[in-house]
Structure 1
Amino acid sequence: MKFLQLTDIHLTAPGQTIGGRDPNKNFAQAIEHAMKHHSDAEAMFITGDLSDWGETDDYKRLAEQLDKLPLPVHLCIGNHDDRPTFLKQFPDLEGDGGFVHSVVPLSIGHAILLDTWGPESHAGFFCEDRAKWLSYQLTELDGPIWIFMHHNPVPSHVKPMDEIMLLDSSRFGEIIRPFKDKISHILHGHCHLPLSGTFHGIPFFAPRGTNHAGWPNFAAERLLSAADLTESYAVIFADKNSTMIHMVEYGYKGNVRNEGSPEYADWDKITMIR
């Protein structure tokens, strides 16, 4: 099974840039690259910050782009989004309690998409209603399960970033901990950094994003840091026993070189290319 994760696409009004980059152009290039190399993926997941300002026109243009794709695309919302505006454009994505959460059957197991959005805040939220919904899904669904969400549930140890992480991470942890043998991975965005680790024994991963990149400035006290690193998305290969994730830096403009054969017999100072 193969599926794709894009995150933090931050669509804006045409012509506007973020960090000197055009998020609309970069998202289009991500889609083009993904469809050229991974059109056999069974699904695409976009984990939030779909619009930079939560504006109707951004969601309309996103819907138009997604309608052209040959594979199903599933959406989370992030702190830059606006849930009421989003649901006007994507009314079918409104779940129980008015949240943008859903369950997606996969060829192996299921995906659960969580809504961690809260009004007038960049931080993430996981209230009791969301906790009850997730607990029910984890109880009823067959595994393996991949959880997609926007906000990071684990501190990055970058102070200004951790002020806007999932504030209810303890409640989230209490819900998922009993199901650690059923949950394959948590996949999130938000930080604009490639991150991996574990939470209550469950692996998590985040790719950098399709536009502006973050930087782990551990000395930062108030402001987030950015860097001119290349745009990326994730390709996930999975079966019942394993998950392999690649962060594909599709925005890289340099050369890709051959550096020799994997055959041990060819490894010598004459034939190896360095």
Structure 2
Amino acid sequence: MKILQFTDIHLTRQGDTIGGRDPNANFAKALAHALDLHGDAEALFITGDLSDWGDEDDYARLKSIIADIPMPVHLMIGNHDDRQLFTSVFPELGNEDGFVQYAVQMSLGTALCLDTWGPDTHAGHFCEDRARWLTTQLEQIDGPVWLFMHHNPVPIHVAPMDKIMLLDAERFGATIAPFAQKIRHIFHGHCHMPLSGSLHGIPFSAPRGTNHAGWPDFSATRLLASAELPESYAVIFATPNSVMTHMVEFGYAGEIKGEGTPDYADWDRMTMVR
């Protein structure tokens, strides 16, 4: 199974920029790059912060764009989004409890797309109703299960970022722990940094994002840090026995150099590029 993950696309009004970067142009660039090189992926998941200010026009434009993508696109909302406006444009993604949570059948198992949005805050939430929905899904699905969400469920040890992580992390952890053997991977966004780790033995990962980049300033106490790093998305390969995630820095504009073949017999001090 091959899938794509975009995160933190932060669509804005046409002409607006974030950190000097045009998120609309970068989203288009990411799509073109991904479809050119990974058009064989079976789905694209976008893990939140679809709009920078939760504007309805951004959601309408996103709906128009993804209508032309030749693979299924699965959307989640993040702290910059507005659930009510999002579901007014994508009513099919709201469930009976009012959350943007749903299951997607994949060629290898089932993907569960989670809603960690909360009003008037950048922090993530996972209330009892959302936990009940996830528990029901995990009880009914044989597995493997792939979880997709916006907020990081584990502290990254950068103080300003940890103030806006998933605040109900203990509830989330307690919900998934009994199903750890069934859940193969957790994919999230939010931090604008490449991250990996585990929760109750379940691995998780996040790419940087398709527009602006964060920086792990471990000495920070109040302000989030950014850096002029390339925009990126993730390519995920999964088999019944393994998972591999790549962060593809499509925004890199430098040279891609050939270093020689991987064959040991060709390794030579005179010919190898060093």
The TM-score normalised by the length of structure 2 is: 0.99
| Aligned-partner SS, 1:63 | helix
1:38 aligns with 2:38: yes
| Aligned-partner SS, 1:176 | helix
Show structure 2 runs of 5+ residues with no match: none
| Aligned-partner SS, 2:97 | helix
Report the identity percentage. Answer: 66
Q: Which amino acid aligns with 1:71?
A: M
Q: Distance in 1 between matches of 2:200 and 2:224?
A: 27
1:188 is aligned to: 188
Q: Offset of 1:271 from its aligned partner?
A: 2.2
1:107 is aligned to: 107
Q: Distance in 1 between matches of 2:90 and 2:60?
A: 9
Q: Distance in 1 between matches of 2:157 and 2:270?
A: 46
| Aligned-partner SS, 1:87 | helix
* Count of paired positions: 274
Q: Distance in 1 between matches of 2:259 and 2:95?
A: 50
Q: Offset of 1:270 from its aligned partner?
A: 1.6
Q: Offset of 1:264 from its aligned partner?
A: 0.5
Q: Offset of 1:142 from its aligned partner?
A: 2.1
1:218 is aligned to: 218
2:173 is aligned to: 173
Q: Offset of 1:96 from its aligned partner?
A: 2.9
Q: How does 1:12-51 map to 2 (within 5 A)?
A: 12-51=12-51
Q: Distance in 1 between matches of 2:75 and 2:126?
A: 17
| Aligned-partner SS, 1:26 | helix
1:141 is aligned to: 141
Q: Distance in 2 between matches of 1:216 and 1:18?
A: 19
Between 1:41-50 and 1:140-149, the stretch displaced more is 140-149
Q: Offset of 1:260 from its aligned partner?
A: 1.2
Q: Distance in 2 between matches of 1:87 and 1:235?
A: 27
1:93 is aligned to: 93
> For residues 138-196 of structure 1, what are the alpha-carbon distances to aligned partners after superposition, in whole Å with 9 as ceiling and x for unaligned?
11112111100000000010000000000000000001111111111000000000000
Q: Distance in 1 between matches of 2:60 and 2:133?
A: 29
Q: Distance in 1 between matches of 2:98 and 2:138?
A: 20
Q: Distance in 1 between matches of 2:271 and 2:221?
A: 51
Q: Distance in 1 between matches of 2:95 and 2:239?
A: 28
> For residues 205-230 of structure 1, what are the alpha-carbon distances to aligned partners after superposition, in whole Å with 9 as ceiling and x for unaligned?
00000000000001111110000000
Q: Distance in 2 between matches of 1:105 and 1:239?
A: 15
Q: Which amino acid aligns with 1:37?
A: L
Q: Offset of 1:201 from its aligned partner?
A: 0.5
Q: Offset of 1:261 from its aligned partner?
A: 1.0
| Aligned-partner SS, 2:18 | coil
Q: Which amino acid aligns with 2:258?
A: N
Q: Which amino acid aligns with 1:252?
A: Y
Q: Distance in 1 between matches of 2:142 and 2:248?
A: 30
Q: Which amino acid aligns with 1:12?
A: T
1:83 is aligned to: 83
Q: Distance in 1 between matches of 2:28 and 2:273?
A: 35
**RMSD of equivalent CA atoms:** 0.5
Q: Offset of 1:273 from its aligned partner?
A: 1.4
| Aligned-partner SS, 1:177 | helix
Q: Distance in 2 between matches of 1:111 and 1:101?
A: 11
Q: Offset of 1:95 from its aligned partner?
A: 1.0
1:150 is aligned to: 150
Q: Offset of 1:240 from its aligned partner?
A: 1.1
Show structure 1 runs of 5+ residues with no match: none
| Aligned-partner SS, 1:96 | coil
Q: Distance in 1 between matches of 2:240 and 2:177?
A: 19
Q: Distance in 2 between matches of 1:231 and 1:32?
A: 13
Q: Which 4+ stretches in 1 moved above 6 angstroms?
A: none
Q: How does 1:241-260 map to 2 (within 5 A)?
A: 241-260=241-260
Q: Distance in 1 between matches of 2:84 and 2:263?
A: 57
> For residues 226-274 of structure 1, what are the alpha-carbon distances to aligned partners after superposition, in whole Å with 9 as ceiling and x for unaligned?
0000000000000111100000000000000000110011112022111
Q: Distance in 2 between matches of 1:178 and 1:256?
A: 45
